[in-house]
Amino acid sequence: MKYITKILLVFGILASSLQLVGLAWATDPTLGTVTATVTAQNISVSLDNGDGVSFGTIGTSSTKDTTTNGVNDSTTATNNGNITEKFNIKSENTASGNWTLGATAGSETYTMKFCTATCDSTPSWTSVGISPSYEVLAASVATSGTQVFDLQVGTPTVTTHYDAQTITVTIQATTP
């Protein structure tokens, strides 16, 4: 009796195994699978001058900059994203609306320019974009890469506003 039980048990295990093998063979040979992964694109920029820039008091029809010859306060923009980025720059009218941003200084019109190379020795100043338009600050900044830049403000040729004017400069990160 024990012998018959063992034989039936072995046949039962074999039958179950054959069923599993049969199931494996019965899968659809016309189907395949692909494992895919994806990473969400992150575009991010940070600036190292959390307290802003103070140009101090400047006469009319004058300029002052953040180079070592000026107020010595260059800014570093860092790509905190996970792809190469393009940095753009723009400014706008002063917060009070008393001074208008322009390509050249004029009556109640100020200028804002930037420099990205040899700023302390032989700067080449470029006008920032006038809101809502941007100017390219850096065309291609690698992940964790940086772009150091200096700013130059130019005061109006004529003004009736001799109080402090607040200027916002915006750095935008985009795909190149």
For residue 24, being part of any structural domain is answered with no
For residue 96, being part of any structural domain is answered with yes
> How many angstroms separate the CA atoms of 78 and 80, rounded?
6
Number of domains in the chain: 1
Q: Which residues contact 54 (CB under 8 A, 6 or more apart)?
A: 71, 73
Q: What angle do CA 28, 29, 34 make, to 5 degrees?
A: 95
For residue 25, being part of any structural domain is answered with no
pLDDT band at 11, cuts 50/70/90? very low
Is the pLDDT reported for residue 5 higher than 70? no
For residue 40, being part of any structural domain is answered with no
For residue 118, being part of any structural domain is answered with yes
- The mean pLDDT value for 61-86 works out to 97
**What's the pTM value of the predicted model, to 2 decimals?**
0.81
> How many angstroms separate the CA atoms of 164 and 159, rounded?
12
pLDDT band at 126, cuts 50/70/90? very high
Is the pLDDT reported for residue 27 higher than 80? no
Is the pLDDT reported for residue 2 higher than 60? no
For residue 15, being part of any structural domain is answered with no
pLDDT tens for each residue of 133-165: 999 999 999 999 999 999 999 999 999 999 999
Q: Which residues contact 95 (CB under 8 A, 6 or more apart)?
A: 165, 166, 167, 168
Q: Which residues contact 39 (CB under 8 A, 6 or more apart)?
A: 82
Residue 136's pLDDT is 98
Q: Which residues contact 149 (CB under 8 A, 6 or more apart)?
A: 74, 75, 77, 89, 114, 115, 116, 119, 137
For residue 127, being part of any structural domain is answered with yes
- The mean pLDDT value for 21-32 works out to 67
Residue 64: give the domain boundaries: 45-174
> How many angstroms separate the CA atoms of 54 and 148, rounded?
17
> How many angstroms separate the CA atoms of 164 and 160, rounded?
12
Mean pLDDT value across the chain: 89
- Backbone torsions φ then ψ of 8, nearest 5 degrees: -65, -40
For residue 9, being part of any structural domain is answered with no
pLDDT tens for each residue of 83-102: 999 999 999 999 999 999 99
